[in-house]
Amino acid sequence: MRRSFFVFAALLHDHKAAMFSSKIISDFKEWKFHHPPSYAQLPIDRNPEYNQPVAVKNAVFSEVPTEPITGKLSMVCVSEEALTDILDLDPKVADTEEFINFVAGSYLPEGGLSVSHRYGGYQFGYWADQLGDGRAHILGEYINSKGERWQLQLKGSGETPYSRFGDGRAVLRSSLRELVASEACFHLGVPTTRAAALVVSADPTVWRDKTYSGRARQERAAVVLRLAPAWYRIGSLEILQRRREPELLKTLVDFIIEHHFPKIDATAEDRYVQWYEAVARSNLDMVASWQGLGFTHGVLNTDNVSLLGLTIDYGPYGFIDHYYQHYVPNSSDDGGRYAFNRQPDIMLWNLEKFAEALAPILTEDQMKKIQDIRGTLDQYIKDKIMKTYLLKLGLQEIKDGDIAFIKQLFDMMQDKMADFTGTFRQLAKVNADKLDDESLLESHWSLAKVGGDSRWPDWVQKYRQRLEEENVSEEVRKSRMLVVNPLYVPRNWMLQEAIADAEKDDYHKVRLLLKVFKNPYKVNEEAEKLGYSAQPPSWAYGLKLSCSS
């Protein structure tokens, strides 16, 4: 029985492989969308005055043509893996006119259907009503040679009914930050949307007040090509609940379950309960992966929480340099609502809003079941984060006393201003029995800081004991640690340098960053020369980002 199952599985695999034989396309004119895209089954608003801000009703999307960026266009960089592994494209297409025009919004390949998505959201804790894709267009769907379905989206591609007071544009600095982070997070094991290409115009036509100082200046428009299986957010449901469109809410939820959650039986009576739990857990898993890397999203509003559990909308995010639990990368977040250490609680708050948005289509019994699930989520995320930190130390089992054990390490890091990424990486480099050897610690710049804390010998003692309890050999410890503790993360100062060069049309650094983050666990000579795994320069201290993008 088992054997025949395997034979059957192997045949199925061959059949699938034959169906989707891998084919790399080197002439972009031959590349086509799958037609029709699945989202065409959902109601689409077709207002001829597509680029006027308007409260859209009874639709999930609005059909909107792109407003291409103009002037002399340059391809700043591409993610070669995204092009080949997702879009079946030879990276050489990146410099062709068709592809550049495609990313700039002036060429829509066959089978495309350009739409902007309608959604609302809670921003900084307050209901903000209709938001929607104010500067993004989903162009179409592509089914790749592996049989995966991807939606291609341009960001910065012009005004839509959702533009509100915005101009529909994006500038180079924020676009570069989004592309690099999407790809770096992917390689760091964070569930995320992807980014494939970035095009910039030579003409400075976009007014931005970067520091909100009252002195706006003109910047160049840029467009990022983003990729995701779909772009639905908690806010996609919230707008339908708020506007009292329960039938459409049900249609959309059923559609998402059917198309994006194959493990859930789309005809099951308790499908919404199962779905709630799946979405909640995947978003909490995502947050746990952020906490493990010192990643802070910066704007964790409900419109920026994906229903597929993916990191979405990279804006004023930051990876922590010297550890500070209340790290806030976003200069507009005065209250620190979206600080690093608040992300788990904020996600739980967002998931409460998710349950509220679903309420109109739930029975009382289903609501009660969802309440029960919500009651388990706090412990779920705590355990996930604890496991993440234990694994960063080469351990696997949660034991009594671990909360205090982990807290002590973070307290020392914070008090000694030790680096988040550097400390864990360097812990993997020094033998556990040498961790209190001062001369060894000195050659590891971040570990040397934590090692100077008076509580360090005690902590090292506990660490050795924990390793012994789980029977972890030095070899196993290191091999586990070196694959979860990166050497390089996209730190704000590195991005600032790449942005400064890119503003002068020098794209070497941004392209190098993409190369380095393809394998953030492996030494890269050029990255080392630029100090990417060294102590950050002093000017990086306290660097913040604005939402102006």
Binding-site ranges for Mg ion (CB under 5 A): 304, 313
Which of 191, 168, 178 lies closest to 79, judged by CA? Answer: 178
What is the nearest approach in angstroms of ligand AMP to the Cβ of residue 321? 24
What is the nearest approach in angstroms of Mg ion to the Cβ of residue 304? 5
Diameter over CA atoms, the chain: 73
Which residue's CB comes closest to Mg ion? 313
Considering the complex, state which of residue 314 and residue 380 has its C-beta at the smaller distance from Mg ion.
314
* SS3 (DSSP) at 129: coil
Binds 537: which of ligand AMP, Mg ion, none (CB < 5-8 Å by kind):
none
User: Are 455 and 412 in contact, with CB atoms under 8 Å apart?
Assistant: yes
CA distance linking residue 425 with residue 157, whole number of Å: 40
Which residues of this chain interact with ligand AMP, rule CB under 6 A?
Answer: 131-135, 162-163, 166-169, 299, 304, 313, 315, 547
What is the nearest approach in angstroms of ligand AMP to the Cβ of residue 311? 12
- What element of type H or E holds 319? strand 318-319
Considering the complex, state which of residue 107 and residue 162 has its C-beta at the smaller distance from Mg ion.
162
What is the nearest approach in angstroms of Mg ion to the Cβ of residue 170? 12
With b for 16 or more beta-carbon neighbours within 10 A and e for fewer, the 224-255 pattern comes to bbbbbbbbbbbbbbbbbbebebeebbebbbbb
What is the nearest approach in angstroms of Mg ion to the Cβ of residue 231? 10
CA distance linking residue 65 with residue 24, whole number of Å: 28
Q: How far is CA 471 from CA 385, 457, 487, 533, in A?
A: 22, 21, 26, 31
Considering the complex, state which of residue 304 and residue 388 has its C-beta at the smaller distance from Mg ion.
304
Binds 466: which of Mg ion, ligand AMP, none (CB < 5-8 Å by kind):
none
Binds 183: which of Mg ion, ligand AMP, none (CB < 5-8 Å by kind):
none
What is the nearest approach in angstroms of Mg ion to the Cβ of residue 303? 5
**Helix runs in 170-232, H state only:** 172-187
Considering the complex, state which of residue 174 and residue 291 has its C-beta at the smaller distance from ligand AMP.
174
Q: Which residue out of 88, 303, 313, 333 is catalytically annotated?
A: 303
Q: Is 368 exposed, middle or buried (0-12, 13-18, 19+ CB in 10 A)?
A: exposed
User: Are 386 and 379 in contact, with CB atoms under 8 Å apart?
Assistant: no
Considering the complex, state which of residue 168 and residue 536 has its C-beta at the smaller distance from ligand AMP.
168
Considering the complex, state which of residue 159 and residue 277 has its C-beta at the smaller distance from ligand AMP.
159
CA distance linking residue 464 with residue 409, whole number of Å: 14
What is the nearest approach in angstroms of Mg ion to the Cβ of residue 45? 20
Considering the complex, state which of residue 318 and residue 536 has its C-beta at the smaller distance from ligand AMP.
318
Which of 70, 57, 62 lies closest to 113, judged by CA? Answer: 62
Binds 478: which of ligand AMP, Mg ion, none (CB < 5-8 Å by kind):
none
**Is 133 an active-site residue?**
no
Binds 107: which of ligand AMP, Mg ion, none (CB < 5-8 Å by kind):
none
CA distance linking residue 448 with residue 436, whole number of Å: 10
Which of 322, 339, 329, 494 lies closest to 412, judged by CA? Answer: 322
Binds 163: which of ligand AMP, Mg ion, none (CB < 5-8 Å by kind):
ligand AMP
* SS3 (DSSP) at 178: helix
User: Are 280 and 373 in contact, with CB atoms under 8 Å apart?
Assistant: yes
Which residue's CB comes closest to ligand AMP? 166
CA distance linking residue 338 with residue 170, whole number of Å: 23
List residues with catalytic annotation: 303
